[in-house]
Amino acid sequence: MKSSRRSFLTKAAAATTLTTMPFATFGNELVQAVDQTSKRSAPSDLQITDIKCGYIRGGHSLFVKIYSNQDIVGHGEGVDATPGTYHLVKMFGERLKGKNPLNVHRLFEDIRRGGFFEGAQSGMYVAVLTAVETALWDLTGKALNLPVYQLLGGKFRDKIRVYMDTALYQNRLPKPEDFAASAKEAVDMGFTAVKFDLDQANDPNKYDKYNWTASPAEIERMHDQMAAAREAVGPNIDICADMHGRYDAITGEKVAKILEPIDMMWLEEPIPAENVDAYKKITDSTSTPICAGENHYLAYGFRRLLETGAVDIIMPDLQKAGGLGEAQRIANLANLYYVPFAPHMVASFLGAMASCHVCASVPNFMILEWQIYFHKNPMYKEIVSYDGEMVEDGFIKLSEKPGIGVEINEEGMKKYADKNVPFFK
């Protein structure tokens, strides 16, 4: 049909040329316009045909592709609560086949409501749904030729500020001077904010393996490490610390109090996620900002945290909290309480850029997590396809490409794939 249209228009152009030169471009312009017009069917005719997935990091990183009848493919990622979820992905795929992927919110609700008795409130169910929902946004953006942030209502900013998680893991028993050197390295790389881990399972001063109460020597060690980092970078660099929910409330209070003179950006998850009232007790006891949320799911999971003022800053993980639409709902809910939105991010650059679209779309964005592994581990460059630099001077430039702007590179990922799970089959 394309060739016959081209033939007709070309002949028309030739005939016109013979009669009058000023109109000689008439047919050529039409031929060019036909060639430039998308031959895909209308977006309303889009249908999901399949979902396939692959895993790396022992199953803790899930990547999904959603396929359509118009050869448009959406990419998404889920983290942490994803080991052993291959058949959950396939079950979601069966529920979505034949549906129009442009109805992102409707499909999200269909799967969420359909799983009320299957664990749809949190955990693995929501983490997998997050990857699927993200891929739906990517597919929709490509079908409509729009970046995801535009589908979310537009952008407040063109670039996203990130902080460097130094991954100076405590199992190596780092000293205060190690904290200082790591902080300085991050600043030299262009970052204006740095994060450290304070929990140390093999600290010789621990009471025992299971006791969540930190000893005085442990608390002193935490203070000295963060003080060294502050001294190394000066007062104008943001520094924060993560306790990974591994302590009790009294320890959280003591650590927050002793860190007050250091002027922290935040103290992250001093206690486990479940007890909102305990969080409020810590937050009320200190001027050190308390941050939590990476282990909360869906907007429901943030409601009481915000209503009671239990935390100062929220940090949902946008690769497991419910997806990009749900992340925007969480951010907008926080905005009603004037609470900053600072997402947790331990994903690939696909997840990072997906998070950036949300961060650009909300007014109360504060900062996004960034990992040292992007600079140290070549895997993270091999497993995705993208244009330009990942990060420059502590900022990620928001992609203007249709969809998310970053895609899964199956060939690059293959050698890192979990060998016990089918790989995109």
Cα 174 from Cα 85, distance rounded (Å): 35
**What pLDDT, on the 0 to 100 scale, is given for residue 11?**
47
pLDDT, the chain, mean: 92
Q: How many domains does the chain have?
A: 3
* Residue 9 clears pLDDT 70, i.e. is over it: no
Q: Is residue 166 part of a domain?
A: yes
Q: What is the pLDDT of residue 259?
A: 98
Q: Are 186 and 96 members of one domain? A: no
Are 127 and 166 found together in one domain? no
Query: Is the domain of 121 the same as that of 233?
Result: no
Residues 245 and 285 in one domain: yes
Q: How far apart are CA 164 and CA 375, in angstroms?
A: 11
- Interior CA angle at 124 toward 122 and 128, to 5°? 105
Same domain membership, residue 193 and residue 83: no
At 3 the pLDDT is 45
Give the pLDDT band (50/70/90) at residue 38.
Answer: low
Percent share of the chain, pLDDT over 90: 87
In this structure, are residues 113 and 106 in contact, taking their beta carbons and an 8 Å threshold? no
Q: Say what the pLDDT of residue 44 is.
A: 79
- Of 97, 119, 145, the position where a domain reaches its end is 145
Residue 320 counted as domain residue: yes
The residue-averaged pLDDT of 274-282 equals 98
Q: Considering the domain boundaries, does residue 408 fall inside one?
A: no
**Amino acid residing at 174:** P
Give the model confidence (pLDDT) of 68-110 as tens digits.
999 999 999 999 999 999 999 999 999 999 999 999 999 999 9
d(CA 192, CA 186): 8
Residue 36 pLDDT: 52
Determine, yes or no, domain membership for 359: yes
Position with higher pLDDT, 119 vs 35 = 119
Domain co-membership, 23 together with 161: no
Q: Are residues 300 and 243 in the same domain?
A: yes
Q: Which residue from 383, 395, 378 is spatially nearest to 77, judged by alpha carbons? A: 383
Are both 251 and 289 inside the same structural domain?
yes
Task: Say which residue, 40 or 325, is predicted with more confidence.
Answer: 325
Shared domain check, 289 and 165: yes
Is the pLDDT at 34 greater than 70? The verdict is: no
pLDDT at position 311:
98
CATH assignment at residue 94? 3.30.390.10
Inside any domain, residue 240: yes
SS3 content of the chain, % helix, strand, coil (to 5): 45, 15, 40
DSSP H helical segments within 20-117, as ranges?
Answer: 26-36, 86-96, 104-113
* CATH number of domain containing 206: 3.20.20.120
Residue where a domain stops, chosen among 91, 126, 145:
145
Q: Is the pLDDT of residue 57 over 60?
A: yes
Q: Are 180 and 229 in contact (CB under 8 A)?
A: yes
> Do 112 and 194 sit in the same domain of this protein?
no
Cα–Cα distance, 64 to 73 (Å, whole number):
10
Placement of tokens 């909300």 in the chain: 362
The angle at the Cα of 418, spanning 413 to 424, to the nearest 5 degrees, equals 60
What is the Cα–Cα distance from 222 to 331, expressed in whole angstroms?
31
User: What is the maximum span of the chain, computed from C-alpha positions, in angstroms?
Assistant: 98
* Tokens representing residue 320 in the block: 């497991």
Which of the listed residues 145, 166, 184 is the one where a domain comes to its end?
A: 145
* 322 domain-assigned: yes
d(CA 243, CA 230): 18
Average pLDDT over residues 358-362: 98
In a domain, 424, yes or no: no
End-to-end CA distance of the chain: 35
pLDDT at 156 exceeding the cut of 80 = yes
Nearest one of 295, 300, 275 to 112, comparing CA atoms? 300
Q: Does 93 lie in the same domain as 221?
A: no
Please give the C-alpha separations between residue 113 and each of 103, 142, 325, 345, in angstroms, as whole numbers.
15, 27, 16, 27
Residue 117, domain extent: 46-145
Average pLDDT for residues 182-188, to the nearest whole number?
97
Say if residue 106 is in the same domain as residue 93: yes
pLDDT at residue 158, as a whole number = 98
**In 252-279, which positions are buried (b, 16+ CB within 10 angstroms) versus exposed (e)?**
bbbbbebbeeeebbbbbbbbbbeebebb
Q: Looking at the domain assignment, is residue 39 inside a domain?
A: no
> What pLDDT does residue 21 have?
41
SS3 readout for 111-167:
HHHCCCCCCCCCHHHHHHHHHHHHHHHHHHHHHHCCEHHHHCCCCCCCEEEEEEECC
DSSP codes joined into one string, 337-377: TT--B--B--S-HHHHHHHHHHHHH-TTB--EEEETHHHH-
Phi, psi of 122 (to 5 degrees): -170, -170
Confidence class for position 169, pLDDT limits 50, 70, 90: confident
Strand partners, 55: 62
